[in-house]
């Protein structure tokens, strides 16, 4: 169960959001919507621990956040001098999970590009690799920030499949304003500035 | 859940290997520090052509070259992650101590290789007299380790700051000055000036300085790594 109570985040004196509370259990998907700059990405960073909330708290039971939480964001850069296979291999060793590089490459449609340097990847291919890295440890909480951004139709099908698998495995949180991606959720949280 | 030592070693190994692969392909540190070191040593050799440099002057000049090579090459391991936007991927995948040790070990290997090459070129081209090879070796290895530990320690702080260029000098200066004094004191004896006892005392100080910076680095890093 993902549980957020009275979450608030401010930068300086400006509150980005306040009094955000929700809970989502296994098999549920929460979609966070709201116009640009309202704090969707900031909220997601608070959920995965990349930012500390200014008030309130987030709880998610997990033995080890490295393997319990998967996160993919369009803001997340990758290493241009490493191949996709090296990304999957090295980060699997850091998280203590199997690399499953061939399996994940098939899942996100990167099989032919697995041994190419990420610096040569298109925006969409990088998005697919971010998703592969996020689902690699088979996390019980998957958090996706604008997962369809920069993806073609086949890439969006990948996102849909990944989201369906995650709902069967644990909790899914997606921040988006895309009407198609809003369908993934059975809970919706609208942030208003 | 407690994570076993084998997992910790795997994490550190993966971070080290990532640094190694990226540097082997980008060669940013090697090119900048190596080029600077080579040019500096050649310039000193040309300026001192036909002049016999004293041990003190030789030691001081070698430390100047090392200091600049280190400050050019080593901070990249931490600063580049923040500048290129890859730090969050590491934050979510590895614990802070593992990230620190993987990067610090890589810095140690890199600086040892660059520093030794600079020292060999310096001795060969400048022609400094070697009075105590054992002390010279300890001074070089201890000095390079202490220099790596100190610059790595400073770069951890600098990487989190908004105005990195201005901060690196301000933070590094009070830590590098005593280190340079110890390093020169030790090396000058190995190269023919001063009393052996003083040289060995300074060499022990260098090893202690290296131990201190590497031992405290992970705690500092853990405090600043998470937002």
Contact assignment for B14 to A69 by CB distance below 8 Å: no
In this predicted structure, the answer to whether residue A116 has a pLDDT above a threshold of 90 is yes
Residue A167 is predicted with a pLDDT of 92
Tell me, rounded to whole angstroms, the distance of Cα B150 from its chain centroid.
Answer: 7
Give me the number of domains chain A comprises.
1
Neighbours of B221 (CB within 10 A): 23
Residue A146 is predicted with a pLDDT of 93
Alpha carbon of A87: minimum distance to chain B alpha carbons (Å): 9
Nearest CA in chain A to B24: A81
In this predicted structure, the answer to whether residue B2 has a pLDDT above a threshold of 50 is no
Which class for B113: exposed (0-12), middle (13-18), buried (19 or more C-beta within 10 A)? middle
User: Hey, is the C-beta of B216 within 8 angstroms of any chain A C-beta?
Assistant: no
Tell me what ipTM this predicted complex has.
0.91
User: Mean pLDDT lowest for which of A68-72, B37-41, B89-93, B222-226?
Assistant: B222-226
What is the full DSSP assignment across B45-90?
A: HHHTTT----HHHHHHHHHHHHHHHHHHHTTHHHHHHHHHT-HHHH
Residue A172's pLDDT band (boundaries 50, 70, 90)? Answer: very high
Contact assignment for A91 to B14 by CB distance below 8 Å: yes
Instruction: Tell me how far apart the alpha carbons of residues B47 and B36 are, in angstroms, rounded to a whole number.
Output: 16
Contacts of A65 in chain B (CB under 8 A): 92
In this predicted structure, the answer to whether residue B1 has a pLDDT above a threshold of 50 is no
| Disruptive mutation site among A94, A126, A129, A144 for chain B (greatest number of B CBs within 10 Å) | A94
The average confidence (pLDDT) of chain B is 89
Strand order in the sheet with A29-33: A69-73, A141-145, A171-175, A29-33, A187-190
Contacts of B10 in chain A (CB under 8 A): 93-94, 96
Structural domain spans, chain B: 7-225
Across the A/B interface, how many CB contacts are shorter than 8 Å? 71
Range of the domain at A183: 2-190
Q: Which residue has the higher pLDDT, A150 or A42?
A: A42
Domain of residue A23, CATH code: 3.40.50.300
């Amino acid at each position: 169960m993902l549980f957020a109570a009275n979450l608030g985040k401010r930068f300086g004196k400006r509150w980005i959001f306040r009094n955000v509370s929700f809970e989502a259990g296994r098999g549920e998907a929460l979609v966070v919507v709201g116009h640009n700059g309202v704090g969707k990405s900031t909220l997601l960073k608070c959920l995965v621990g990349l930012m500390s909330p200014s008030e309130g708290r987030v709880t998610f039971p997990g033995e080890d956040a490295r393997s319990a939480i998967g996160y993919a964001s369009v803001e997340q850069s990758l290493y241009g001098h490493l191949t996709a296979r090296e990304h999957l291999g090295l980060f699997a060793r850091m998280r203590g999970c199997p690399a499953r590089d061939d399996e994940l490459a098939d899942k996100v449609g990167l099989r032919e590009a697995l041994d190419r340097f990420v610096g040569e990847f298109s925006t969409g291919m990088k998005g697919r690799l971010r998703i592969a890295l996020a689902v690699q440890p088979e996390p019980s909480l998957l958090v996706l920030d604008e997962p369809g951004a920069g993806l073609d139709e086949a890439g969006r099908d990948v996102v849909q499949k990944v989201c369906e698998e995650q709902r069967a495995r644990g909790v899914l949180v997606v921040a988006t304003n895309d009407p198609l991606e809003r369908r993934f959720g059975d809970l919706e949280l609208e942030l208003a500035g | 859940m407690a994570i076993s030592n084998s997992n910790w070693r795997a994490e550190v190994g993966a971070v080290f290997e990532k640094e190694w692969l990226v540097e082997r392909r980008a060669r940013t540190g090697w090119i900048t520090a190596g080029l600077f070191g080579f040019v500096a040593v050649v310039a000193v050799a040309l300026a001192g052509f036909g002049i016999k440099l004293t041990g003190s002057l030789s030691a001081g000049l070698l430390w100047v070259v090392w200091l600049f090579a280190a400050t050019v090459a080593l901070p990249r391991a931490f600063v580049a992650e923040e500048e290129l936007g890859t730090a969050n991927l590491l934050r979510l995948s590895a614990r802070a101590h593992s990230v620190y040790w993987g990067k610090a070990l890589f810095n140690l290997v890199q600086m040892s290789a660059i520093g030794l090459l600079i020292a060999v070129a310096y001795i060969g081209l400048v022609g400094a007299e070697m009075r105590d090879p054992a002390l010279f070796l300890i001074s070089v290895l201890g000095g390079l380790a202490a220099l790596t530990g100190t610059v790595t320690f400073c770069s951890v702080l600098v990487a989190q700051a908004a105005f990195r260029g201005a901060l690196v000098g301000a933070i590094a200066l009070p830590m590098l000055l005593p280190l340079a004094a110890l390093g020169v004191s030790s090396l000058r004896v190995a190269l023919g000036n001063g009393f052996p006892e003083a040289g060995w005392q300074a060499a022990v100080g260098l090893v202690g300085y290296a131990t201190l910076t590497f031992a405290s680095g992970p705690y500092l890093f853990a405090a600043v790594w998470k937002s």
